[in-house]
Structure 1
Amino acid sequence: MDRAHRQELKHDKFVDQVGQGIEYASGHRTQVIRYAIVAAVVVAVAAGGWAWMKQQESVRQDALRVAVRSQEAQIGQPNTAFMIGFADQKTKEVAVQKAWQDLASKHGGSTEGVVAEYYLGVNAADQGNLPEAEKRLKLVADSGKSPYSSQAKLSLARVYSSLGKNGEAEKMLRSLMNEPTILVSKEEATLALGRLLATTNQAEARKLLEPLRSSRGPISRAAISTLSEIPAAR
């Protein structure tokens, strides 16, 4: 069948369908009007819902920007108008904690809320509050929101190591090696595992770290540095 005939058939079918639709509408005018009204209401609600969702997203993004600016703030007078400064470290810590906590509490479950939980965990670890860090980072690790989940797992593995939970840390790092993400590469997870095993399983640590000598800059330097700290095999 040539192209012209196929086009004619398509055209005829379309005309028939339109004709049938007009005929149905003429005989069922009340129903058509009713369904049209319902459809209009559905569209209006959907549009309103979409607008509300976009507005909420904007609110979350604004809160995230405030928290990030506080996190990156300087102590003292800021160098640029785009940064903010705090009088001292304690004042900054209080402001940062509040910003992230507010975001996590008000928008839990959203991407921005997950990022807030991550920073709350990392900051707790920096301040030596390892149980709090473990709790926060585990929430993000278990959230399934990749790639933030993978970054939380990497940080959580370090917390586990500091708590003496080396078995859990090793298990988590091996899972990251098997499932790398845009935020945590296989090389980065391998390096972290090599460092973890450097004092408990030196042969395995060398096996993991040696191939990283030829990796990209920072990974290579870190691998070489860690290898230099492992006693030579006898």
Structure 2
Amino acid sequence: MFHSPEVFVARITRKELKTDKFALEVEHGLTFFEQHQKEITRYGGIVLVVAAVVFGIRLYLGHQHTVRETALAKAILVQETGVGPAVQGASATFPTQQVKEEAAVKAFSDVKKSYAGHDEGEIAEYYLGAIRADQGNLGEAEKSFQEVAQKGDEKYASLAKLSLGQVYFAEGKPDQAEKILRELIAHPTIFVSAEQAQIALARGLLPSKPAESRKILDGLRNRPGTVGQVALTLYSELPPQ
């Protein structure tokens, strides 16, 4: 039995704006699988793995982006806020997920409107795509990811393309998905490794092209670390030869 295609949505936390730790993890590809296996939410039949992957920390260090940084950090704070009843002495929360999402959409939309053409604006647009994907609104998520893929810095664009490829699979557009993911495999970035794109492609091809998926996974399943582990898991989902 095949699982629905997965859309991997990278998120930045305010803490990550101040550290190089996650930049090194992204360079090695699929570290987020290990760190966020439990952070899985299902919306509209699509498994969304919410991964804390930093977006260009070095752009934030030592540069005079204070106003834009602050606006983006405030929007991220909204996204990080929990949901549930208020508890005295604990951090603030939103009463419902819907209220939180509405607040996050407004916050990121404001950043996008104010700082269009800057990295912060494109990061905000990526976040809007992530929220829409979480909501199962794949059409709007596709538009957001397309914008970042076309207009964003190469590093941010690669993250958008990774998510966009998986959205295409979920929308029943496998040819478009395969094309964009193969482009990422051929042209990896510091934020999206070739192996990460291969995993996404193999997963998306499982239902329709299991032989091609097997071929990709054969080259990955003996790799050390997370890449090999994820490849082995997907390999076990392949139909018998």
TM-score over 0.5 for the pair: yes
Q: Which residue of 2 aligns with 1:166?
A: 174
AA of the residue aligned to 1:203? A
| Cα distance in structure 2, aligned partners of 1:94 and 1:163 | 24
| Cα distance in structure 1, aligned partners of 2:126 and 2:218 | 31
> Which of 63, 67, 73 in structure 1 is aligned with 2:75?
67
SS of the residue corresponding to residue 147 of structure 1 reads helix
> Which of 171, 190, 193 in structure 2 is aligned with 1:182?
190
| Cα distance in structure 2, aligned partners of 1:213 and 1:124 | 32
CA contact (8 A) 2:122 2:152 kept: no
Give 5+ residue unaligned stretches, structure 1: 1-52
| Cα distance in structure 1, aligned partners of 2:228 and 2:88 | 34
Question: 1:218 Cα deviation (Å)?
Answer: 2.6
Q: Which residue of 2 aligns with 1:121?
A: 129
Give the share of equivalent positions with the same residue, in percent.
44
Q: Which residue of 1 aligns with 2:147?
A: 139
Compared with structure 1, are the counterparts of its residues 104 and 185 closer, same or farther at alpha carbon in structure 2 (3 Å cutoff)? same
1:148-227 aligned at under 5 Å gives the runs: 148-227=156-235
Report the structure, 1 or 2, having the larger strand content.
Answer: 2
SS of the residue corresponding to residue 214 of structure 1 reads coil
| Cα distance in structure 1, aligned partners of 2:178 and 2:232 | 21
CA contact (8 A) 1:173 1:190 kept: yes
Question: 1:217 Cα deviation (Å)?
Answer: 2.7
Compared with structure 1, are the counterparts of its residues 72 and 194 closer, same or farther at alpha carbon in structure 2 (3 Å cutoff)? same
Question: 1:203 Cα deviation (Å)?
Answer: 1.7
| Cα distance in structure 1, aligned partners of 2:75 and 2:221 | 37
1:29-68 aligned at under 5 Å gives the runs: 54=64, 57-68=65-76
Runs of 4+ in structure 1 deviating by more than 4 angstroms, as ranges, are 77-81
| Cα distance in structure 1, aligned partners of 2:66 and 2:229 | 41
Which one scores higher on RCO, CA 8 angstroms, separation ≥ 6? 2
Query: C-alpha root-mean-square deviation of aligned residues, in Å?
Result: 1.9
CA contact (8 A) 2:119 2:152 kept: no
Would you say 1:107 and 2:105 are equivalent positions?
Answer: no
- Name the larger-Rg structure: 1
Question: 1:138 Cα deviation (Å)?
Answer: 0.1
CA contact (8 A) 1:71 1:96 kept: yes
Question: 1:149 Cα deviation (Å)?
Answer: 0.4
Deviations 1:78-136 (A, max 9, x none): 8997x642122122111101110000011011000000000101110110111111111
Report the structure, 1 or 2, having the larger helix content.
Answer: 1
Give 5+ residue unaligned stretches, structure 2: 1-62
Deviations 1:161-218 (A, max 9, x none): 1111110000000000001111111100011111122122222111101121122433
Q: Which residue of 1 aligns with 2:94?
A: 86
